[in-house]
Structures are given as C-alpha cells and as structure tokens.
Amino acid sequence: MIFPTAKPAFFLTVLAGGWLLMAGCQSNSENGATDTAVSGNVLVGVDETFAPILQAQVDTFGKLYPDAHVKMQFEPEENVMVDLLNDKIKVAVVARELNAEEIASFAKQTIVPRTTRIGIDGLAIVLHPSNPDSMLTINQLRDIFTGKSTTWSQISNQKKLGDINIVFDASRSSTARFMRDSLTKGTPLTTRVFAASSNPALLDYVSNHPNAIGVVGVNWISDHDDPAAMKFLQKVHVASITARPNPQPDDFIQPYQVNLAQKTPEQLAKYPELQNYPLRRNLYIINREARSGLGSGFAAFVAGKNGQLIFQKSGLLPAQMQARVVTTPKR
C-alpha cells in the first residue's frame, strides 16, 4: 500500500511559521504598523478554483486568532495576479509561481515576494452520470481539448451523446491555462470550449448535459465531511484517467490523495501498479509584504502544521508530504 508521509522539511516549516508569528507581533509594534502576524486586517486574493480549501483555512485561522481578520477575494487566476502586482492585495493563492515578467515588475517596485508551495491539487475530469465513457486516456483528453475529437462517437461508440461540450469554471481560469500548458503542450484549446460563471455553475451544467465534460479543482468534491462537496459529487461522475500506453482497466485512476502523492522513479520501477495522477499541480501562496504583517502570519499558518493538516483532511495533498510504500506480508 502507499501512504503520504511527512518529510523533515515539514517540521522546519512549522518552526519557521511559529517564529514568524512571534516576530511579527514584536516588530510591528516597534514600527507603529496597525497589524501584526496575528491581528489586524488583510485582503488575500485567491484563485476561485481553491475557494473551499482556502475558506477552511481562513475559518480555522480566525478561530485561533480572533483579532485577525483575513478577507478573501475569489477571482480567476489572471485577475489575482494583476491585483497582486498593483498592490490591491498583499497575498495571493494561485496554482503557479511568478513568471519572469512579474518578477521584473516587482523588482522595479523594490519588492521581493515570498513564494511558498503549500499543497498539491488534482484536476478532476467530470462527466454526466449517464456517460459510459468514464475511463479516458491522456491522448483522448488531448484530442478532445484540441478539437481533434468533437463527438463522443470518436471516443467510443456512444453516438447518442452527440457533440462534446467542454466547460471550464471561468475565462482566464487557471484550469484552462493548466490544460493548455500541460495537456495540449501549448496547442490552443478548441473553440468549442466555454466558461461557466463559477465552479458550482460548471458542476450544475455537467449534471444537466449528458454530452458535457468539465474540468474542476478536486477540492470542490474531495472533502467527505463537507456537505456541499458531497452534494456536488452526487451530481456528476469523476472520470478515471491514465497516461499509460495500451492501458488495462486497472491503470485508470482518479485524483484521490494517494494518487496525488509524487512517487519516485525508484518506487514506480519497483511497484508497477503505482503511477502519478497525470493532472496534478502545485498550489502556492505568494506574499508581497515587506514586513511580518497579517499576510505573513496567514501564509505561515497555511504552510505550517495546522494549515497542512487542513489540506490533508480536505483530500488534497499537503506540500511537505511524499509517498511512502508499505508492503504487507502475503498470507
């Protein structure tokens, strides 16, 4: 069996986070700032793909530190990054690191943002429950999203489903960017793609259209203790996918936590039944504060022990965890 396990760096992160909270309280009282690492107000821009998991983070942080008021602004990834560059927000939570142009822009402002990887997310391919094509290869997905395959009959013999309708959560979405960068390798997405107004709207659309295929961050459907997530999961079917050539039925996997864990080449060679989920991506928190304010305190919390446990509970993978293979003796 395979389980996620914490690396030593995890504990270093926790210790660093605790130091930051203490240092923030001390230094800001000295320079006259109105907020500290555990009190005051801060606006955090969040890629709306990660709304459920970040809402859980903020709720817990607020209970631990009642004087800390973290307000979240959920937007498409591109909008979040523009707001961060223009100092409309102090902290951003997105699915990528800064690019060269953004780093240069911050340099002109004499700002060196701090970027921390906080979790690993998987993109779930969701289908209508009546769609029998519940197992898809990466090559089939690539053909669908580039427009090479436009009908379900080109994927299988399901002629009654007709044309394939592809839906993302929003324009300028991080999920669309990821599929273009990582799945189609820069080839433009088909013009048959359209954007819903939100992730809930995407799930509703797929649940009402048998020919639809959608892409959603797995945190919308992975937390089994979240009634909203379980309600969404009842509406759609999560496709199993694989990047293996000539796959067998057992080769298709879903974005469960165990599949999000990165396996080493040695583990993959020794245990052929294991594989990495093909549509996995890192989640980052980017902080532009020049001091240890509330933005820094919240970032330290999310990267620290409590924040990482929230990721684990939600079904995402904490950043500081890796795959550990446990073998049991045969009886």
In a domain, 330, yes or no: no
In a domain, 271, yes or no: no
Q: For residue 28, what is the DSSP state?
A: H
In a domain, 274, yes or no: no
Number of domains in the chain: 2
Q: For residue 99, what is the DSSP state?
A: -
Residue 9 sits in the same domain as residue 85: yes
pLDDT of res. 33: 61
Domain, as residue range, for 167: 121-264
Helix 305-314 to helix 51-64 angle (10° resolution) is: 140
CATH of the domain at 32: 3.40.190.10
Residue 236 sits in the same domain as residue 286: no
Where among 214, 230, 264 does a domain terminate? 264
Residue 252 sits in the same domain as residue 175: yes
**Euclidean distance between CA atoms 131 and 99, whole angstroms:** 39
Residue 287 sits in the same domain as residue 210: no
Where among 211, 235, 264 does a domain terminate? 264
**Euclidean distance between CA atoms 75 and 170, whole angstroms:** 9
Question: What is the pTM assigned to this prediction?
Answer: 0.84
Where among 264, 291, 316 does a domain terminate? 264
In a domain, 309, yes or no: yes
Residue 258 sits in the same domain as residue 285: no
Task: Give the SS3 label for residue 137.
Answer: strand
Residue 188 sits in the same domain as residue 63: no
Residue 75 sits in the same domain as residue 198: no
Residue 128 sits in the same domain as residue 247: yes
In a domain, 305, yes or no: yes
In a domain, 98, yes or no: yes
Nearest Cα neighbor of 272 from 250, 240, 241, 239 is: 250
**Euclidean distance between CA atoms 122 and 312, whole angstroms:** 13
Task: Give the SS3 label for residue 286.
Answer: strand
Residue 14 sits in the same domain as residue 110: yes
Q: For residue 185, what is the DSSP state?
A: T
In a domain, 61, yes or no: yes
Residue 49 sits in the same domain as residue 146: no
pLDDT in tens, the chain (331 residues): 443 444 433 333 333 444 444 444 444 544 556 889 999 999 999 999 999 999 999 999 999 999 999 999 999 999 999 999 999 999 999 999 999 999 999 999 999 999 999 999 999 999 999 998 899 999 999 999 999 999 999 998 766 889 999 999 988 899 999 999 999 998 999 998 999 989 999 999 999 999 999 999 999 988 878 888 888 888 999 999 999 999 999 999 999 888 998 888 898 889 888 889 999 999 999 999 988 899 999 999 999 999 999 999 998 999 976 545 444 444 4
Residue 110 sits in the same domain as residue 208: no
Helix segments in the chain, DSSP class H: 8-31, 51-64, 77-85, 100-108, 138-146, 174-178, 199-208, 227-235, 257-260, 265-270, 294-303, 305-314
Residue 103 sits in the same domain as residue 189: no
Q: Which residues pair with 216 in a beta bridge?
A: 124
In a domain, 85, yes or no: yes
